Amino acid sequence: MTLQLGDQVPDFTQASSQGEISFYDWAGDSWVVLFSHPADYTPVCTTELGTVASLKSEFDKRNVKILALSVDGVESHQGWIQDINETQNTQVNYPILADEDRKVADLYGMIHPNSLNNLTVRSVFIIDPNKKLRLTITYPASTGRNFDEILRVIDSLQLTDNHQVATPANWQDGGDCVVVPSIPTEEAKQKFPKGVTEIKPYLRMTPQPNK
């Protein structure tokens, strides 16, 4: 299955390091970051799982739940979690799906037969409270994921869902935003009382509306 942006992601029930998870019920009204790993006891993924644990409060502030996936079983996960806690000086505080039958990997298109490793590749999915896929990034095995970028994208998605703006290159929370093209400039000046700077008729900037 190939999931595309805007698709409703499939529901599933699967074992995890924190008990059985029925995805839709578990996600509730939260955003979800689902990220996959090719196997337990992999070095780059060990650092990633520890990093996400250390950032959990940042995800919590944004109403985001974290869900990892690896194709090994729960018992293996528990041993790996001990290693992660020890080596990364953290406590893994979110569930890791035990996708031994590849059910979730297949549902979400995580198997890339032509990649170096035929197991689940290292994908990230951002899913909104309506269970719609809003972002997907797939990383090579040799490159650790940038979770500051994942948080940045979530900030952008949550901002742009609620205000008629887009975020420019390298935008960070608090930075100026792009007025969407569908709003005429005079209307934009009324809508954004902090000011609208017209660089080109199609490129108008305004301070972040919710700051």
Q: Which is it for the CA torsion 115, 33, 154, 46, positive or negative?
A: negative
Residue 56: name the closest of 46, 47, 66 by CA: 66
Are the CB atoms for 170 and 47 separated by under 8 Å?
A: no
CA 102/CA 37 separation, integer angstroms = 12
Are the CB atoms for 73 and 39 separated by under 8 Å?
A: no
3-class SS at 106? helix
Let me know if 177 is a catalytic residue.
no
CA 43/CA 28 separation, integer angstroms = 32
Q: Which of 45, 52, 119, 165 is catalytic?
A: 45
CA 49/CA 99 separation, integer angstroms = 16
Report the amino acid identity of residue 21. Answer: I
List the catalytic residues: 45
